[in-house]
Structure 1
Amino acid sequence: MYPVAYSLFFIVGLPANCLSLYVAWVLMRKGNNLAVYLVNLSISDLLYTVTLPVWIEMALRRPVGDVLCSLVAVIMYNSFYVGSGLLCCISVDRYLGLVYPLYFQWAREVRTSLAVSVVVWTVEIVIHIILLNHTGALQAFFSRRLCEERMPMTRADADLAITRVSLGFLVPTFIMIFCFRQIMHALQKSPSILAEERRVVRLLLMLLLVTYLVAFVPYQTVMFLRAVLESSGNCTWAKWLRHPYMVVVATTTLNSVLDPIIYCLISKSARTEMNRLLVKGRALCTVFLPFPNV
């Protein structure tokens, strides 16, 4: 399953995230504060996407060095939780803009979004280092293969998994759902927002939330079950949960692949920049690959 699934995700995800990064960068330079979060989200997703060839090699049972193995595991987990934090920022930004349009203008400036993005990256990385240190993985980074899950889980690994589920998944999910509900309520009450604008905002947030939940709920559920049931050293539960765990690990990649596609297709400003890029591409093709007159 892994070579096929990850190859497909890599083929689609790499150009999609590169395109999303370009579009978000152009919009950020024009003063779009939401694009700041999308630039960081694209970078996070892109980092995970470029590790997929390594996961494919390991799935094919080809030799991969211990350092590279540990590095791609760290990148994967950081991508999960940095992405969660940035999606929270996007939800809160839309919440403040639509529910309190006359207030919190400072929170919706580009420099504020840049500062918040730096904080998200810093907090996630620091927490991850602390958790790795707690399990002893940081000290054994160059000798222990962090990309290979220990089954059954040790008590330290179980504590790490529960912390990740609680802080890295449940808290962001509650924030996103709260913001989504408030935004929907504000859209229904506001007569100044056009029906088309309501539809776009509703569709964008709905798709982002659904994609996030579809990608991570199965994975986080299985991780929580493993942490609770395997930490006692029970190999029976480890055997039962091994195959479901391997499947849900692959489904997490959906988030990195679909986020940029959703944003670029739904956002009008993003579609405008994509059309400009296509026009430039066609012009270059005309210059370097002129078609003969027939």
Structure 2
Amino acid sequence: MDAAFFNKTNCTVVSSVERNMYPTAYSLFFIVGFPANCLSLYVAWMLIRNGNSMAVYLLNLSISDLLYTISLPVWIELALRKPVDESLCGVVSVIMYNSFYVGSGLLCCISVDRYLAVVYPLHFNWVRERRTAVYVSIAVWTSEICIHIILLHHTGALRTFSSSLLCQEPVPMTLKDADHYLTRVVLGFLVPVFIMAFCFQQIMKSLRQSPSILEGERRKVGVLLLFLLLTYIVSFLPFQTVMLLRAVLEPGACVWAARLRDPYLVSVATTTINSSLDPIIYCLISESAQKEIRKAVEKGRGVWKNSKLFESSSAIQTIS
């Protein structure tokens, strides 16, 4: 970061990456991500009304991504070293980490939902019901929040929730923080990647072996899951790799804290790609999502035409 950090080992780390990169990058992600997630939220809600169970996961994913997107202006203020309320700093920090891992859980749910629908179309129908999707989504949110609280308590950050330490952690990383991040890397990244990759491989294998499924439908399902998986890996692999290196090398070592600081700050910014691209990918590839978007556009055109006709008739009445 731009400012120097000091801790018990009198370690000083200076970086200009945050101030130079974050305002531009986060502004761009906000401009793209906010309308994209609002559109995805609308599409998901309309699909849920039509009985689409997978849209429940998309709705929750959009809410998670939207919360993170809304918090980006606060991160921009912090990067520019402008004063931010300490409680707000703690809130946006919790939102960021919860969005990371709630999103991971929901992407796993989407992958498993498609896996059951394609590989076992005549079985597990109750798992793919809308009510089940609601319960699973609640479980994902609840488990992530509980795990986050436990980890914050373990590192001692929960006792200082209203302080800026949640946004500006001490350098070098402590052993407790290292344990925290190792747990996150395994449970919050490696396990979801394994689940999504397994589901994708099994789905593609089943699609290739099923002559009853049209080639176009196979391609749509495969492209959707592949893009979601690749976007997730591209967005989070740099961050998780740097965090793994920090957890292994940094505790008590100021030299590694200095070397890994810039890569860490850059990798944090790349995670925002996921929250911006997920809704765009789904809305562009999903045929049902495209139908709802077209309906919304047609409805908007109808409202605009009616408003213009009303203005014209009012103007004529005024003249006469």
TM-score, normalization by structure 2: 0.89
Write the distance in 2 (CA, Å) between the matches of 1:286 and 1:149.
Answer: 54
- Out of 96, 100, 103, the position equivalent to 2:116 is 96
Contact 1:137 1:144 (C-alpha < 8 Å) held by counterparts: no
**Partner deviation per Cα, 1:9-39 (whole Å, 9 max, x = no partner):** 0011000000000000110111100000000
- The change in CA–CA distance for 1:61 and 1:144 in structure 2 (over 3 A counts) is closer
- The change in CA–CA distance for 1:200 and 1:241 in structure 2 (over 3 A counts) is same
**Cα offset for 1:86?**
0.3
| Bigger Rg over Cα | 2
The residue number in structure 2 matching 1:276 is 295
Q: 2:164 matched to 1:159?
A: no
Write the distance in 2 (CA, Å) between the matches of 1:178 and 1:265.
Answer: 24
**Cα offset for 1:288?**
2.5
The residue number in structure 1 matching 2:7 is none
In structure 2, runs of 5+ residues without a counterpart are 1-20, 313-320
Write the distance in 2 (CA, Å) between the matches of 1:136 and 1:60.
Answer: 27
Runs of 4+ off more than 2 Å:
287-292
Q: Residues 214-233 of structure 1 correspond to what in structure 2 (within 5 A)?
A: 214-231=234-251, 233=252
Q: Residues 204-243 of structure 1 correspond to what in structure 2 (within 5 A)?
A: 204-231=224-251, 233-243=252-262
Write the distance in 1 (CA, Å) between the matches of 2:226 and 2:164.
Answer: 40
Write the distance in 1 (CA, Å) between the matches of 2:161 and 2:40.
Answer: 33
Contact 1:21 1:42 (C-alpha < 8 Å) held by counterparts: yes
Matched residue type, 2:51: G
Q: 2:175 matched to 1:132?
A: no
The residue number in structure 2 matching 1:252 is 271
- Out of 257, 266, 275, the position equivalent to 2:285 is 266
**Partner deviation per Cα, 1:130-174 (whole Å, 9 max, x = no partner):** 000001111111134301132210111111111110111111110
User: Which segment drifts farther, 156-165 or 146-155?
Assistant: 146-155
User: Which segment drifts farther, 234-243 or 147-156?
Assistant: 147-156
In structure 1, runs of 5+ residues without a counterpart are none
SS in 1 for 2:165: coil
Write the distance in 2 (CA, Å) between the matches of 1:266 and 1:289.
Answer: 34
Q: CA RMSD in A?
A: 1.2
The residue number in structure 1 matching 2:131 is 111
The residue number in structure 2 matching 1:10 is 30
Write the distance in 1 (CA, Å) between the matches of 2:50 and 2:210.
Answer: 27
SS in 1 for 2:25: helix
Write the distance in 1 (CA, Å) between the matches of 2:245 and 2:215.
Answer: 43
The residue number in structure 1 matching 2:209 is 189
Write the distance in 2 (CA, Å) between the matches of 1:239 and 1:16.
Answer: 36
- Out of 55, 60, 74, the position equivalent to 1:54 is 74
SS in 2 for 1:107: coil
Count, aligned residues: 292
**Partner deviation per Cα, 1:38-65 (whole Å, 9 max, x = no partner):** 0000000001000000001111111111
**Partner deviation per Cα, 1:65-95 (whole Å, 9 max, x = no partner):** 1111111000000000000000000000111
Matched residue type, 1:9: F
